[in-house]
Structure 1
């Protein structure tokens, strides 16, 4: 578990599937279809519960639930993930918060805690890919010191993915 002034980042519980699915329903329509709720309603809450139950508990890197310390309310997730598009041993920072919690600095606070955890774990560098249209996430990454790497994956339909890095 990781704690900040206002947040607690912890492992997943099956009950978190309800909020996790809410995150899926809120995604921007420009997000590629495999990362949005399908026309036939997948992933379902049950499918997300199964994903949570099957996820490694202590393996790093991993995503953690972000909750408000004061209330215990889950507001999203933040952590590190493997991305085959970046060098081995250099994980990608990922985060997503419910829209009703945007604009309060929570994403930056949670991501900063994950960056510090990654630094302490000895990772040499972190990556973060972000769609060119996602100005809010681009702002979070800039506040954390991520810089554009010069690598861009063009996508005329969903928006180009910009790869950013942070040397630790």
Structure 2
């Protein structure tokens, strides 16, 4: 999972705005981004798939900041995540559902989100997959599809942030062409968030 340090509740409007994806910028109203690889289909979320989002929230590493995990009151609930999909708020079309074509099951997300770290028009790559499908190359495959989409859409550079302890995500970023920068965001409780960037696409 790509790490983020912003500490706002999952339902906070500022957090929602931060997750409005760059993949929708300049899109024709009503159009949808759909990407395909040999094994995967990356497409907008469907309401019934809120259970997958909830599973992602539930199984996150305890080192992830609390605003990215299920809280003590059980939020976000499946119903709340369903509402987010219906209103295109938290999980916008920039964070695409990753579906395995062979089994037709959704296993996580991958896409672009607005970034505060680069220049205008330089979004961040974000991905997260269910634990049961780790180490099968899906994150790399999905990320490469998003990078190709970004390249063909005129983006020149992308960013990514990841916790220093998240070695799996760091390996994926290296495989798809990201390099670590000297910039870091240190959190005394949760660790250091590392900043990666691509060469010019």
Inter-partner Cα distance in structure 1 for 2:189 and 2:115: 21
The alignment partner of 1:83 has SS state of coil
Inter-partner Cα distance in structure 2 for 1:129 and 1:71: 31
Q: Is the deviation greater in 93-102 or in 154-163? A: 154-163
Match of 1:75 in 2: 107
Inter-partner Cα distance in structure 2 for 1:20 and 1:156: 28
The TM-score normalised by the length of structure 2 is: 0.79
Inter-partner Cα distance in structure 1 for 2:181 and 2:155: 17
Q: Aligned runs of 1:83-94 on 2, under 5 Å?
A: 83-94=115-126
Match of 1:123 in 2: 155
The alignment partner of 1:154 has SS state of strand
The alignment partner of 2:79 has SS state of helix
Inter-partner Cα distance in structure 2 for 1:18 and 1:87: 35
Cα deviation, residue 73, structure 1: 0.3
Inter-partner Cα distance in structure 1 for 2:189 and 2:152: 38
Which is bigger in relative contact order (C-alpha 8 A, separation at least 6)?
2
The alignment partner of 1:47 has SS state of helix
- For structure 2, the residue ranges without an aligned partner over 5 or more in a row are 1-33
Match of 2:70 in 1: 37
Match of 1:20 in 2: 53
Inter-partner Cα distance in structure 1 for 2:60 and 2:102: 26
Q: State yes or no: 1:46 paired with 2:63.
A: no
The alignment partner of 1:76 has SS state of strand
How large is the RMSD of aligned CA atoms in angstroms?
1.3
- For structure 1, the residue ranges without an aligned partner over 5 or more in a row are none
Cα deviation, residue 159, structure 1: 1.3
Match of 2:44 in 1: 11
Cα deviation, residue 86, structure 1: 3.3
Inter-partner Cα distance in structure 1 for 2:45 and 2:178: 27
Match of 2:168 in 1: 136
Cα deviation, residue 95, structure 1: 0.3
